[in-house]
Structure 1
Amino acid sequence: MLKEVKYLLLAFFVILIGFLPFYLISSKPSNSIEIKKLDITNLEPVVGKEGGVLKRTLSSDPKTLNPVMAQETSSTAVIGPLFNGLTKVNEKTLLPEGDLAERWEVDNTGTVWRFYLRDVKWFDGKPVTADDVVFTYNQIYYNDSIPTSSRDVLTVEGKPFKVRKIDDKTVEFTLSKPFAVFLNAVGQPILPKHILEKSVKEGKFPSTWTVNTDPKEIVGTGPYKLVKYVQGQYVIYERNPYYWEKDKLGQQLPYIVSIQSQIIKDPDVSLVKFLSGESDIYGVRPSDLPKLAENYKKGDFTIYNLGPTPAITFIVFNQNPKAPIPKYKLKWFQNEKFRQAISYAIDRVGIVNMVYNGLAYPIYTAVTPAQKRLFDESYYPKYPYNLKKAKEILLSIGFTEGKDGFLYDKEGHKLSFTLITNAGNKERESIGNIVKEDLKKIGVEVNFQGLDFNNLVSKLMANYDFEAVIIGLTGSIDPYFGQSVWLSSGHMHMWNPKQKTPATDWEAKIDQLFKEASIELDPVKRDNLYKQAFKIIGEKQPMIFIAAPEEMVAVKNKLKNVFPTVWGWYKGDYVFIDK
């Protein structure tokens, strides 16, 4: 998602999709550059060496350093290494495993869970207790005065979990009904009561831990602590000396003791930094392959094929009645036939070939080949590229062609809208230009603009001051964790967020299907409910889905225990530098 609901232990290793381009691979690119298809099924880390500095780049400044308030990957990229939840996801099995919780028990009804905490300390040396867990849930996540998308995934049929302390190291969750992905849901970051309770009581929590906060004040439990952040320049981390995990020889993890992240908005500059040795990890775009091949030296770096990504690229039109856009445009955007017409005018296959060098998948709903249980090309509706059909639909809903060749609505308004995306993302900029030219052929004027990513996110998520946007979602292991996007009440329901009651019958139906799926324990039946929901989304096209790319990452060979996946790095704490 723009913000992932789970925080991977080493989120800084993940190629973050919300602001970087989507990255692809070729089985045999020019100049015989080696690309490794990595199957981690039987791979496990070896004992490594402590020490060294990992160098990486970030493509944007964070908007906040508060994990509860973060809604975009520019923030979670920086915050991710600082915090832990009760559980985390094993990137190999995609199943939950213990994080702050060493173990848990569930009663025979499936509704009462007890978690037993490890002996973990905060960055300031104070112990993590059940009080911190109860505080995080009851006073932060379930606090209606704190706007957070995390709350969307911490309820069962709209009802919050009941969270109470049993003793200092035991906390109990009581659910209204059995909950299929409960163990994944409690991967949300746990926060320190002794640090944050005052700001919560004073109503200041949403403005706590801003980008101007002294890093020493940000107290977590993660593998790294933030020691310095200079806006527009760099972020520096040091290993958390109190971090709980050790290797089998008792050595402190993570092995790498420091991370230095330069903030570089231009991905071309990031590529140069990687090739010059100033960074150790780089997410590869299709256009990078010739340059990488040119500079390829066996033994210097390896490009890993991570396979299909769950990430999606799409166009979304603003259907929010409160948005500061002309009412006549709102009327267009709310018409499903209008959206379907635009969908037919999107040359997905051409975009896959021209923008992604053929290394992506055309998509028509929010399911990609990475989500194997849900991906079914024959099940979901398709909108093959057909400009004639697109124009016919627009004419059928009342638009007429003017002498200038552009279409006009019944009130004489020219069919024109502004389409924005994040500047510097070459893939999205290319998509925007292709869309602009194709829509012009059927009488639709598109004003295409690139904006700074954080400015774009503010327009999309805060003031709703946009008409249409090209953006992406990272995807999630289970559709439930996309509820903030797909539920009509969701904070990230981008076309019309935070509805008190569903604005349309089809949105109400999706709400119902997601509600049923959340308590359906039979995985086949559960998948079928989600497939029905995504079929409706495909039919109504609230987002005009374009492509799901494959992903690859280049890593310097001095890094060992390297196991990247599209879901994160498996055993990321075990990565070490072999000098």
Structure 2
Amino acid sequence: MKRKNFALFLVLLLAMSMFLAACGGGGESGGEGNGGESGSGGSDNVLNVTETQDIPSMDSALATDAVSFNTLNNTMEGLYRLGENDEAVEGMAEGEPEVSEDGKTWTFKIRDAKWSNGDPVTAHDFVYAWRKALNPDTAAEYAYIMYDLKNAQAVNAGEMAPEELGVKAIDDKTLEVQLENPVPYFKQLLAFGTFLPQNEKFVKEQGDQFGLEANTTVYNGPFTLSEWKHEDQFVMKKNPDYWDADAVKLDEIHTKIVKDTQTDVNLFETGDADQIKLSSEFVDKYKEHEGFFTVKESSVFFLRMNQEGNEVLQNVDARKAIAKGFDKKGITDVLTNNGSVVADFFVPEEFAEGPDGKDFRETAGTYLETDVEEAKKHWEAAKKALGQDQVTIELLNYDDDLSRKVGEYLKEQLETNLEGLTINIKQQPFKQKLDLETQMNYEMSLAGWGADYLDPMTYLDMYVTGGAHNQQGFSNAEYDKLIQDAKTTLLLEPEKRWDALVQAEKILLEDEAAIAPIYQRSRAYLKNPSLDGVLFHKVGPDTTYKWAEFK
């Protein structure tokens, strides 16, 4: 795109954003905007927050998304949960585990704790939940995250019975876990949602309704889900039977589902929300507000390009043309305007340190930087190979405010820079979009991925051949071997393992352009100044409310 046209596009975009903000009503309803008391806080000890999407599932074996994992994190508890600085702190596990000399056998003591229906939490609840997640009949997308458990992959493939999984209840309060190989981050991994326990009797009583309503789910965490009005709001109440209930200060958390930031701002200004996310057009207005802050996350947004059944996206030149053919800074500087950074990578910045103490990004390179001239060359080569002058690709997208803007921007950029390309946008509600990706019923998709644990593997093993989250038909034998080696034979050789992960990312991006990275997300927030103790995580769930309070 010519610079003149690009500048005009940004000016029009900003003007449109201001117009929409003004038409939304209530943008100035709180007085001067940068000061004054806002939020409901304190008096009734109820926290009011918002989400852009409803909860797809409260079944920990089936959950795959940030909203589900956030809610599970605050209503359920595994052996561990994440505390400050993403350290694993005690949950259902009491005291330090006993670990064998070879690091492959871990024995945990289960504390005295109750489910919200009064049943005791036992070691059997973990055995049942983990076997369920790996049972191929469950079709759990996140089953692969448990492959460190002995026989897990074979169980998930249907080659072994779930009873042969390396987990057993020695008694009601003793859980023994066997691993295929020692895992340096295993304790933290156990805080991830797929490793949560489930009450077998209750789950079977609910049948196919388990996890779909507030009253068809049972809880053992700091809060219980007391109300769930789909596509409207859900309410969490303090769990009086939680083992550490004295640490929980909030009585309730009300989450309203809001898809546009203007409504969020209105709710904050009228005192009906205590913490909201801000989109770009509101950052400058509120950045001096006492409750304004930003959080740099590990989430990376990118374009999935489905190679299965799509002749154009099977062509590596076409994929490189798309990946290089749009200005990423237009997104981070204008559309997000919240500290998000351009991503010429998949493993994020300031995330994981290698054995040499350096951040992964210091060791690895950058890939698929914006280069419109290079993109045009790749595009012409692709069209020639395909024998096509005109190409139409459908872009699957979320239906929230920011995603709509990013989708329109990508369409304008790619259609301008790649002659003969037409992008048709298909916006879908969150759950439906995830379902379409799982079914691989799409061509190109705007997607995001956040870390599950503090290691580059949480990004890179997504794209092994046939991986549950591959969801785009990518396959490379050399890539598969590097990932497999990094999970097994190289675990005791950290320098070689790190190098294998660096090489794998290079294959994924520079060689294959399997995905097109766009940006690493930061988020701008506005909160009630008296709200304290909300933890924001780089891995697993986004937030923990266990220690939140109004001061």
Does the alignment reach a TM-score above 0.5? yes
2:326 matched to which residue of 1?
A: 346
Q: Quick one: distance in 2 between partners of 1:55 and 1:571?
A: 14
Q: Map 1:81-92; keep pairs closer than 5 Å.
A: 81-92=74-85
Q: Quick one: distance in 2 between partners of 1:378 and 1:259?
A: 42
How far is 1:535 from its partner?
A: 1.9
1:143 matched to which residue of 2?
A: 135
2:50 matched to which residue of 1?
A: 57
1:259 matched to which residue of 2?
A: 253
Q: Quick one: distance in 2 between partners of 1:137 and 1:424?
A: 34
How far is 1:133 from its partner?
A: 1.6
Q: Quick one: distance in 2 between partners of 1:473 and 1:239?
A: 30
Q: Quick one: distance in 2 between partners of 1:225 and 1:61?
A: 17
CA deviations on 1:331-353 (whole Å, 9 max, x unpaired) are: 22122222112222121233332
Q: Quick one: distance in 2 between partners of 1:209 and 1:430?
A: 36
* Partner amino acid, structure 2, of 1:440: T
Q: Map 1:425-504; keep pairs closer than 5 Å.
A: 425-426=401-402, 429-443=405-419, 444-461=421-438, 463-476=439-452, 477-482=454-459, 485-496=462-473, 503-504=475-476
* Partner amino acid, structure 2, of 1:542: A
CA deviations on 1:340-380 (whole Å, 9 max, x unpaired) are: 12222121233332323383322222122131524326732
Asked if the contact 2:149/2:166 (under 8 Å) is kept, the reply is: no
Q: How many residues align?
A: 489
Asked if the contact 1:57/1:263 (under 8 Å) is kept, the reply is: yes
* Partner amino acid, structure 1, of 2:104: T
How far is 1:428 from its partner?
A: 5.2
1:376 matched to which residue of 2?
A: 361
* Partner amino acid, structure 1, of 2:273: S
Q: Quick one: distance in 2 between partners of 1:418 and 1:144?
A: 32
1:236 matched to which residue of 2?
A: 235
CA deviations on 1:381-402 (whole Å, 9 max, x unpaired) are: 43333322222222234528xx
**2:265 alignment partner, SS class:** helix
**Does residue 152 of the first structure (1) align with residue 152 of the second (2)?**
no
* Partner amino acid, structure 1, of 2:547: Y
2:547 matched to which residue of 1?
A: 574
Q: Quick one: distance in 2 between partners of 1:107 and 1:219?
A: 34
Asked if the contact 1:488/1:511 (under 8 Å) is kept, the reply is: no
1:195 matched to which residue of 2?
A: 202
* Partner amino acid, structure 2, of 1:136: A
> 1:243 and 1:356, CA in 2 relative to 1: closer, same or farther beyond 3 A?
same
> 1:510 and 1:63, CA in 2 relative to 1: closer, same or farther beyond 3 A?
same
Q: Quick one: distance in 1 between partners of 2:82 and 2:449?
A: 19
Q: Quick one: distance in 1 between partners of 2:274 and 2:492?
A: 42
**Does residue 272 of the first structure (1) align with residue 278 of the second (2)?**
no
Deviates most, 311-320 or 487-496: 487-496
How far is 1:243 from its partner?
A: 0.6
Q: Quick one: distance in 2 between partners of 1:165 and 1:158?
A: 15
Asked if the contact 2:367/2:506 (under 8 Å) is kept, the reply is: no
> 1:59 and 1:95, CA in 2 relative to 1: closer, same or farther beyond 3 A?
same
Asked if the contact 2:57/2:68 (under 8 Å) is kept, the reply is: yes
How far is 1:81 from its partner?
A: 1.8
2:374 matched to which residue of 1?
A: 389
**2:183 alignment partner, SS class:** coil
Higher relative contact order (CA 8 A, sep 6+): 1
**Does residue 78 of the first structure (1) align with residue 74 of the second (2)?**
no
How far is 1:158 from its partner?
A: 8.0
Q: Quick one: distance in 2 between partners of 1:228 and 1:508?
A: 44
How far is 1:232 from its partner?
A: 2.4
CA deviations on 1:423-475 (whole Å, 9 max, x unpaired) are: 233255235424433433331221234332222222112x3221111121123
**Does residue 528 of the first structure (1) align with residue 499 of the second (2)?**
yes
CA RMSD in angstroms comes to: 2.9
**2:256 alignment partner, SS class:** strand
How far is 1:565 from its partner?
A: 5.1
Q: Which has the higher helix share?
A: 2
Q: Quick one: distance in 2 between partners of 1:109 and 1:346?
A: 50
CA deviations on 1:502-526 (whole Å, 9 max, x unpaired) are: x432442354344348x61455444
Q: Map 1:170-209; keep pairs closer than 5 Å.
A: 170-187=174-191, 188-197=195-204, 207-209=208-210
Question: Pick from 533, 537, 551: which aligns with 2:508?
Answer: 537
**Does residue 318 of the first structure (1) align with residue 297 of the second (2)?**
no
Q: Quick one: distance in 1 between partners of 2:222 and 2:68?
A: 17
Q: Quick one: distance in 1 between partners of 2:347 and 2:57?
A: 30
Q: Quick one: distance in 1 between partners of 2:543 and 2:493?
A: 28
> 1:576 and 1:67, CA in 2 relative to 1: closer, same or farther beyond 3 A?
same
> 1:511 and 1:233, CA in 2 relative to 1: closer, same or farther beyond 3 A?
same
> 1:179 and 1:172, CA in 2 relative to 1: closer, same or farther beyond 3 A?
same
How far is 1:267 from its partner?
A: 2.5
**Does residue 305 of the first structure (1) align with residue 285 of the second (2)?**
no
How far is 1:280 from its partner?
A: 0.6
Stretches of structure 1 that go unaligned for 5 or more consecutive residues are 1-30, 35-48, 247-251, 322-329, 401-408, 498-502
Q: Quick one: distance in 1 between partners of 2:256 and 2:544?
A: 24
Q: Quick one: distance in 2 between partners of 1:352 and 1:495?
A: 26
What is the TM-score normalised by the length of structure 2? 0.81
Asked if the contact 1:355/1:431 (under 8 Å) is kept, the reply is: no
Q: Quick one: distance in 1 between partners of 2:234 and 2:445?
A: 29
* Partner amino acid, structure 1, of 2:406: S
CA deviations on 1:261-318 (whole Å, 9 max, x unpaired) are: 222222321121112110111122222124436xx76xxx512232x32111111111
Asked if the contact 2:49/2:273 (under 8 Å) is kept, the reply is: yes
User: What's the % identity of the aligned pairs?
Assistant: 19
2:7 matched to which residue of 1?
A: none
What is the TM-score normalised by the length of structure 1? 0.77
Asked if the contact 1:510/1:536 (under 8 Å) is kept, the reply is: no
> 1:489 and 1:483, CA in 2 relative to 1: closer, same or farther beyond 3 A?
farther
1:416 matched to which residue of 2?
A: 392
How far is 1:496 from its partner?
A: 2.3
CA deviations on 1:512-554 (whole Å, 9 max, x unpaired) are: 344348x614554443332222222222221100111323322
Q: Quick one: distance in 2 between partners of 1:71 and 1:570?
A: 16
Q: Quick one: distance in 1 between partners of 2:116 and 2:185?
A: 30
Q: Quick one: distance in 1 between partners of 2:528 and 2:506?
A: 42
Q: Quick one: distance in 2 between partners of 1:572 and 1:523?
A: 35
